[in-house]
Structure 1
Amino acid sequence: MADQLSAQDWIDLGLKTLAKGGFTALKAEPLAKAMGVSRGSFYWHFADIGAFHAAILARWREVATEQIIAAVEATKDTNEGADPLAILLKLTFGSKLVLEKAVRSWAANDARARAAVVAVDRRRLDYIESLLKQAGLADDIARARAQILFWAFFGFALSDQTLPAEKQQAALDELLRMVVA
C-alpha cells in the first residue's frame, strides 16, 4: 500500500492530525500506523520530520490564505458590484478555525512554524490593505484598518465563543461599516 500513497496523502493526514492533536502529534510512527503502513513510506516521501513539517506549513498557507484570496478575486471578477471585503469577511469568519489555532500554538513553540505564521500574517495584512486601498482609503488609513481587521479576525479565531449566524453577520456588517467609513 505504501507505493500507492503520495506525499499529499501524508500532508493531508498531517493537517488533520495537527488540527485534532496539535503539533506534538506530527510524528512519523503514529502517522504511519494511522495510515496502515510502515514508517518507510513516510521517509520515501520526506527526507525527515523537518521536511514534513515544512510541507504541512506550506499547505496550511495554501489552504488558509491563498485559496481564500483566490476565491475573493474570482468572485470580484465574476460578480461585478460584489464587495470583496464583505466576501473576505464571510469566507474567513465563516470557516472553522481549528487548524488556525493549532498552527498558532505550534508557532509559539517552534521557530520554523513561527516564521511561517509571520509570513502568512504579512500576506494577509497586505491583501486586506490592498482591498481597502481599492475601496478608496488613503495608504496610511488602509494600513491601520487592515491591522484592525486582522486583529478582529485573530481574536475571533482564538475565541471559543460562537454566535448564531444572524448575530455573527450583524457583527461582520458593523465591522465592515466601521472599516470602510
Structure 2
Amino acid sequence: MQQSSGWRGSADIWLQAAYENLIESGVDAVRIQPLAKQLKLSRTSFYWFFKDREELLSALLAQWREKNTGNLVKQAERYGESIIESVLNVFDCWLDQDLFDTHFEFAVRSWALQSNDVKAQISEADEIRLAALRSMFLRFGFEGEAADVRARTVYLTQIGYISMKSREDLAIRMKRIPEYVRIFTGKSPEQRDLLRFYARHNYTQEPYEK
C-alpha cells in the first residue's frame, strides 16, 4: 500500500475516515465518494493508496484483528504471578480503548450480519482469543475442561457487554471487579491485586475489602 501525503491525503487518513464511518453508521457508509467528500479530497486520490473499496475494507479488518485480537492475546500471555493478576491483565482490555476498541468490535460484529467472509473472520478471532484465555488458565493449573469453561465465561461475558452496548459508570464497574474475579477464578482477589489494577485505570475510590 503506497504511503503519501499532501493534497491526496494519506492511506492513514482514508483509513481513519473509513473507521469513523463504520463506527457511526455501519459498513454501508464506508464508500469512496462520501469519504472523499468528507475529507475534501478528490475521489481519484483514493486510488493512490487503495486498489478499490474492498482493499479499504480489508485494511479495516486487518486493523481490527491487530488491535482487538492481538492485544487480547498479549494481555492473556502477559506475566502474572497468579491467575488473579492474569485475569486482571485481561480486564485491562475492557477498560482501555487503546488496548481493545469495543466500538470497533461491535461494528465488525454488526458487519458480519451482512458478510459471510466477515462472519468467518469473527469466528476465527473468537477461537484465537479463547485459545489464549484457555492457555492462561492452564498455565495456573486448571485442568482442560475447567480452563475451557472459565475462558468462555470470561470472554462471552464481555462479548455480551459489547453486543448489548452496555454502559457502566467506572465506579460501578470497578466495584464489581472483585466479584467478577472470584466468579472467573474461584479465588478472592487480594487488596494489592486490586490496588495495582485500580491505579492502572486511575480509579482512586477505596478498594474492595474482604
Q: TM-score, structure 1 length as denominator?
A: 0.86
* 1:94 Cα deviation after fit: 4.9
Distance 2:161 2:172 in 1: 14
Kept in 2: contact 1:93–1:156 (CA 8 A): no
User: What are the within-5 Å matches in structure 2 for residues 1-181 of structure 1?
Assistant: 1-3=6-8, 5-70=9-74, 73=77, 76=79, 83-95=85-97, 97-181=102-186
Superimposed CA distance per residue, residues 24-50 of structure 1 (whole angstroms, 9 cap, x where no aligned partner) = 111011111111111212122222211
Higher mean C-alpha displacement, 12-21 vs 52-61: 12-21
Gaps of 5+ in 2: 1-5, 187-210
Q: Do the aligned partners of 1:133 and 1:142 also contact (CA within 8 Å) in 2?
A: yes
Gaps of 5+ in 1: none
Distance 1:73 1:145 in 2: 16
Q: Superposition RMSD on alpha carbons, in Å?
A: 2.2
**Higher RCO structure (Cα 8 Å, ≥6 apart):** 1
Please give the alpha-carbon distance, in whole angstroms, between the structure 2 residues aligned to 1:160 and 1:130: 28
**1:13 and 1:31 in contact (8 A); partners too:** yes
Q: Percent identity?
A: 26
Shift in Å, 1:159 = 2.3
Bigger CA radius of gyration: 2
Instruction: State the one-letter code of the partner of 1:91.
Output: C
